[in-house]
Amino acid sequence: MQKIIDAHVHLSERQDDALIRFARMNGLRYTLEELLGTMERYGITRGLLLSPPLQGTLALPNDKVIALCARSGGMLAPVVTVEPTAKDVKAAVKLAKENTKEVKAFKVRLGYVKASAESPVFSGLYDYAESEGLPVLFHTGDTAFSTGDLSRSHPLTLDGLANKREGLTMVLCHFGNPWFEDVAELLYKHPNVYADISGLITGSKGYAEKYVEWLGKKISEAIYFAGGAEKIIFGTDYPVTKHSEALDLVRRLDVEESDKEKILWHNAERVFRL
């Protein structure tokens, strides 16, 4: 493989970061130094940094994400998280305009916020994202906390938005886990829909090996259904999933090596213009 791009990582330096429990579960220090060192060790040349959730309902402020990226020596690029209020949408667009060379995408936390993908509050965000060719990442599928709303994070809730916004590049995070077949259909149906494979493995729960085999089978079948791997993007969701586990999942896929290369870097380079 020539290189690897990790299109989904989290980080903060706050004690109220809600992902600290996942870091501890995985034996990770969850620091910028550790993240950059691990990326170098595995040949990951670039990463997209997303706000982690904080204790409560908020996410890490976007200016903190941009500041962390500025300290990464060019290895990390920011994704701006957008909350469902007119004020937050306006602020997110303004921040993206002010950091146009750095910001590579936006993120909507479906399932964690009281809004759907088609909520009118996001219209200004989608208008700007379309005009600038910036992808919008959507959390889809299972939520990290039991208080999440699956009725809003189910991947099929994005079908209507993809129909209305054919010029909007949409990335479904976590492959809609466990609704892999639904995501496969969205990839097949919509030219503007992509999916990442981040955050699918956490800890060593019962049947861990069988579960990873199942994941590899499900993602491979999705590739068969979609007719190729051009729309699937590698991500770890660090610290939720360790880099070694995420890369092992790609190795397990029953697809051509050229398709694994697309997943590991080529698709992200094209979609996020890295």
- CATH code where residue 20 lies: 3.20.20.140
Q: Count the domains in the chain.
A: 1
Backbone angles phi, psi at 262, to 5 degrees: -60, -45
234 by DSSP, 3-state: which?
Answer: coil
Band (pLDDT 50/70/90 cuts) for residue 57 is confident
**Long-range own/partner contacts, residues 60-69 (CB < 8 A, 24 or more apart):** 60/12, 60/14, 60/17, 62/92, 62/95, 63/95, 64/12, 64/13, 66/95, 66/99, 66/102, 66/103, 68/11, 68/12, 68/13, 68/32, 69/102
The answer to whether residues 238 and 11 touch, using CB atoms and an 8 Å cutoff, is yes
Query: Is the preceding peptide bond at 178 cis, omega within 30 degrees of 0?
Result: yes
Share of the chain above pLDDT 90, in %: 93
Q: What is the DSSP letter of 135?
A: -
pLDDT for 49 beyond 70: yes
Q: What is the DSSP letter of 41?
A: H
pLDDT, residue 252, reads 97
232-233 and 44-50 strand pairing? unpaired
In Å, how far are 60, 74, 135, 153 from 69, measured between CA atoms? 14, 7, 18, 28
Burial class of 188 by CB neighbour count within 10 A (0 to 12, 13 to 18, 19+): middle
Crossing angle of helices 86-98 and 123-132, in 10° steps, is: 20
38 by DSSP, 3-state: which?
Answer: helix
pLDDT in tens, 27-42: 999 999 999 999 999 9
pLDDT in tens, 187-240: 999 999 999 999 999 877 789 899 999 999 999 999 999 999 999 999 999 999
Band (pLDDT 50/70/90 cuts) for residue 150 is very high
pLDDT for 56 beyond 70: yes
Structural domain harbouring 134: 4-271
pLDDT in tens, 80-130: 999 999 999 999 999 999 999 999 999 999 999 999 999 999 999 999 999
The one-letter code for the residue type at 205 is: K
